[in-house]
């Protein structure tokens, strides 16, 4: 069964939030665009707002879907829905991740992102195959 996941491209003052998965979790040590599982019948934008509030105590405004694609891991298949969101501040509290950082889009390649997040990262960074989508 394929799981639908909302991944937030959460921006504030020209930077985007990424967070590192804690030890003991699947993909521990990898950085990711934060978010989480979309519940049955839940709107992806609403799911992102809920997940970011639960995991970071960070209020965000989900703006629009940027992309949607499938990815397969050894432990399961997912559909990642990349969502552009705006945070009013950078003040957050970690509950699920062990680190977070606000980075410029061009700095994303300095972090070891989870494989499912790489296409979204290329889109955000405006790589050679994709325009920057943060404006």
7-60: pLDDT as tens digits: 999 999 999 999 999 999 999 999 999 999 999 999 999 999 999 999 999 999
- Reference 25, options 73, 68, 65; nearest CA is 73
Sequence ranges of the domains in the chain: 3-125
In sequence order, the 6+-apart residues with CB closer than 8 A to the CB of 79 are: 2, 3, 4, 5, 68, 69, 70, 71
Does the domain made of 3-125 have the CATH classification 1.10.3130.10?
no
Compute, in degrees rounded to 10, the torsion defined by CA atoms 44, 13, 57, 108.
70
Neighbours of 99 (CB within 10 A): 12
pTM of the model: 0.92
Q: How many whole angstroms separate alpha carbon 135 and alpha carbon 27?
A: 30
Q: How many whole angstroms separate alpha carbon 60 and alpha carbon 7?
A: 13
């Amino acid at each position: 069964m394929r799981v639908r996941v909302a991944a937030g491209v959460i921006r504030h003052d020209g930077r985007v939030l990424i967070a590192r998965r804690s030890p003991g979790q699947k993909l521990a040590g990898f950085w990711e665009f934060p978010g989480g599982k979309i519940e049955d019948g839940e709107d992806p934008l609403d799911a992102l707002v809920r997940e970011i509030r639960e995991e970071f105590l960070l209020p965000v405004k989900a703006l629009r879907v940027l992309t949607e694609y499938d990815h397969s891991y050894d432990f399961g298949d997912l559909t990642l829905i990349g969502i552009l969101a705006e945070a009013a501040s950078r003040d957050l509290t970690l509950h699920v991740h062990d680190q977070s950082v606000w980075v410029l889009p061009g700095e994303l390649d300095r972090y070891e992102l989870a494989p499912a997040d790489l296409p979204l990262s290329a889109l955000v960074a405006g790589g050679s195959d994709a325009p920057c989508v943060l404006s």
